[in-house]
Amino acid sequence: MKSAAVSIIGRPSAGKSSLLNTICGHKVSIISPVPQTTRNMIRGIWNDPLGQLLFLDTPGYHDSERKFNRQLQHVAVRAMNDADTILYVVDSSRKPGREESAILDLLSVTSVPVVAAVNKIDLPYAVPDEAATWIHARLPAVMCIPVSAVTREGIQTLLDVLIGLAPEGEALYPEEYYTDQPPEFRIAEIIREQTIIRVSEEIPHAVFVDIADIETDEPNSKLFIRAFINVERESQKGIVVGKGGRGIRDIRKASQRELRKLFPYSIELDLRVKVQHKWRKRDDLVKKLIY
Ligand SMILES: Nc1nc2c(ncn2[C@@H]2O[C@H](COP(=O)(O)OP(=O)(O)OP(=O)(O)O)[C@@H](O)[C@H]2O)c(=O)[nH]1
Ligand SMILES: [Mg+2]
């Protein structure tokens, strides 16, 4: 039996969470086109007759001095140090920039084995060979595996390599598990996902969701959820609520639909918007929300 913790590292929007969901076969980690979607260390579990891999999804690594970004970086670095293997995810449809070289700096000094997933090869303008060339310029020994989190191309090869590198050990979780996140966290994340894909500019980064109350009505299999979408300014609140409440109504309906796929309940969501003035500058909230 093999068992390993695999930390998924890469710049914002490289497709780390998409890859994790494809591997686990469920929505474990939320996804959006907005960079810095993931804010926490999210565990997803892959079970196979050969063993178990525990994947740690992380916030996109982004060099910045701001309190909020520094906390995100800290989560990624912690996951790297906890890993048996690092899965470095690269977007092969974009040129490597300053962000990529900051990650390569980190990877070139770690003693943890690194495997690179060269992602998004389904895109017509992807250049996986070029990506492998610049990875090898800094990390000559790293194996580069071309994959697509969307079409699943290359995913089995990647898993074969990762399980091959895993040490002998006992499974950490029962084999029916695919994540260990508490339901309350998953609900808040789905609402955040459905909010950030419907707003633009700075708003996605200013959103956090808190769950005020969850109740079940067992015989009817109904889940009543009361939640708040928090933003930083009154003007952002107006945008989330939308004209005649249309924005918040769409978010509520879409969240209910997504939650229905994850939980064996019909969902009734009571959703409101609240302003938490400049919460990203508040130590207590940043530490509570990003870990
Ligand atoms: N075409 C294509 N798009 C992809 C692929 N993987 C991810 N994407 C898209 O890339 C965007 C970012 O995906 P995420 O999985 O949220 O990326 P991430 O690396 O987790 O991003 P952060 O959490 O912000 O660091 C989304 O719009 C995805 O649909 C892929 O293999 N092919
Ligand atoms: Mg992510």
The CB of 10 under 6 Å from ligand 1? The reply is yes
Residue 220 pLDDT greater than 80, yes or no: no
- CATH architecture classification, 183-289: 2-Layer Sandwich (3.30)
Report pLDDT digits (tens) over 160-197: 999 999 999 999 999 999 999 999 999 999 999 999 99
| Centre of ligand 1 from the C-alpha of residue 88, in Å | 14
Please give the radius of gyration of the chain, using alpha carbons only, rounded to the nearest integer: 20
Decide if domain 2-165 falls under CATH 3.40.50.300. Answer: yes
Q: Residue 55's pLDDT is what? A: 98
pLDDT band at residue 99 under the 50/70/90 scheme? confident
Residue 290 has pLDDT above 90, yes or no: yes
Q: Is 155 in the pocket of ligand 1 (CB under 6 A)?
A: no
Quick one: pLDDT band at residue 254, thresholds 50, 70, 90?
very high
**If pLDDT is split at 50, 70 and 90, which confidence band does 255 have?**
very high
Q: Which residues pair with 279 in a beta bridge?
A: none
The string of pLDDT tens digits covering residues 78-90 is: 999 989 999 999 9
Give the number of the atom of ligand 1 that is nearest the alpha carbon of residue 18. Answer: 15
Spell out a b/e string for 78-93, using b for 16 or more CB atoms within 10 Å of the CB, else e.
Answer: ebbeebbbbbbbbbbb
| CA–CA separation, 28 and 179 (whole Å) | 7
- Looking at residue 178, what is its pLDDT? 95
pLDDT of residue 65: 83
Tell me the three state secondary structure of residue 269. strand
How many CB atoms lie under 10 A from the CB of residue 73? 18
The pair of three-digit structure tokens given for residue 34, joined into one six-digit string: 């907005």
Q: What is the pLDDT of residues 29-76, one digit of tens each?
A: 999 999 999 999 999 999 999 999 999 999 999 888 888 999 999 999
How would DSSP label each residue in 189-229? HHHHHHHHTT--TTHHHH-EEEEEEEEEEGGGTEEEEEEEE
pLDDT score, position 219 = 78
Residue 101 token pair: 């070289």
Residue 217 has a pLDDT of 85
- At residue 285, the pLDDT reads 94
User: What is the domain partition of the chain in residue ranges?
Assistant: 2-165, 183-289
Going by pLDDT thresholds of 50, 70 and 90, the confidence category of residue 97 is confident
Share of the chain above pLDDT 70, in %: 100
Atom of ligand 1 at shortest range from CA of 38? 23
199 lines ligand 1 (CB under 6 A): no
Q: What is the pLDDT of residue 63?
A: 83
User: Exposed, middle or buried: residue 150 (CB in 10 Å: 0-12, 13-18, 19+)?
Assistant: middle
Pinpoint the alpha helices (H) of 122-278: 128-138, 155-165, 183-196, 203-206, 234-241, 246-262
- Give the pTM: 0.97
Nearest to 275 by CA among 207, 198, 211, 220: 207
Ligand nearest to the CA of residue 154, numbered in listed order: 1
Question: What percent of the chain clears pLDDT 90, i.e. is strictly above it?
Answer: 93
For the chain, give me the number of helices (H) and strands (E)? 10, 9
Whole-number average pLDDT of the chain: 96
Task: Return phi, psi of residue 20, to 5°.
Answer: -60, -45
Question: Whose alpha carbon is nearest atom 7 of ligand 1?
Answer: 15
Cβ atoms of 60 and 14 within 8 Å: the answer is yes
The pLDDT of residue 140 is 96
Residue 118 pLDDT: 98
